[in-house]
Amino acid sequence: MELTLDILEWLDREPDLNVTDVAQRLDVDKSTASRRLSMLVKRGFVDRDAVTGRFCLGVKFIGLGQRVAKRLSIRSVAYPILVKLRDEINESVELSLRRGMERVYIEVVETTQALRRVLPLGVPIPLYPGSPGKVFMAYMTAEELAPILDNLGDTRFATGAVPDRASLEAELRVVCETGVATAYEEMFLGMGGMAFPVFDRNGEVAAVLGLAVPEVRLTPERKQRCIEQGLAAAREVSARLGFRESALSAGRLRPEVRIR
């Protein structure tokens, strides 16, 4: 693995090397360099010129770079708004991205209060349960959503309860109608959560802004305040990403259509 990474780093510095060049720079024999380069070409990480036989970084890095840039862009745009929201309500504010059937916290601004939930930055966790996952799920296609709904029997809340499919489907409809997902003791005992979609300029869910509030502070009045200010913050992040209401296609399927 280290040798493979060394090859990529050399091609980043010198994007026009042949097999001999790579072997010399890494102090390995040509056959070893050739095998590693062939593997990288096959996987799309390296391109080989059919005429000169020289190598350069592959087009796969374009897509990878765009995804990293998008993530960093969302994080940088959202961060001051997350801090402002935390200062207004003094509860932990989080920003998460979806990765297939998992999600990852890319930013957390913690409350200054002693009682809080510590969230794992950068660590993949299951998409569901939890309020952020419900937001992602509400905008997934039927094909994407089916495995989650079909395997709810394998899911357990922090209380030990098993999610009810009909109730979850109803919740997902509410998310699309209101822009708000809520959860209570789904991931952690004594913890409530609220989450809100962050849309990009194309009207797609780019991230989810969430709040984590301990039960002892989750009065009806405080819950309503958190929802109102969290929703406003998510809308502000969306607007700064270029989102306009018109970007939500009139043809977008509603949950009642795509949930079976």
The CATH number of residue 46's host domain is 1.10.10.10
Confidence of residue 254 (pLDDT cuts 50, 70, 90): very low
| Domain residue limits at 131 | 67-258
Same domain, 23 and 134: no
Same domain, 186 and 252: yes
Overall pTM > 0.75:
no
The domain total for the chain is 2
Determine the pLDDT at residue 11.
Answer: 86
The CATH number of residue 85's host domain is 3.30.450.40
Same domain, 133 and 182: yes
Picking from 15, 250, 34, the residue whose alpha carbon sits closest to that of residue 26 is 34
Determine the pLDDT at residue 255.
Answer: 40
Read off the pLDDT of residues 20-71 as tens digits, 9 standing for 90 and up: 999 988 888 889 889 998 999 988 889 988 888 898 888 777 666 666 656 6
Same domain, 133 and 39: no
- How many Å apart are CA 200 and CA 114, to the nearest integer? 34
Same domain, 14 and 80: no
Per-residue DSSP letter, 136: H
- CB 111, CB 138: distance < 8 Å: no
Read off the pLDDT of residues 215-232 as tens digits, 9 standing for 90 and up: 999 999 999 999 999 999
Same domain, 71 and 42: no
- CB 134, CB 155: distance < 8 Å: no
- CB 182, CB 131: distance < 8 Å: yes
Measure CA of the first residue to CA of the last residue in the chain; give whole Å. 44
Same domain, 53 and 79: no
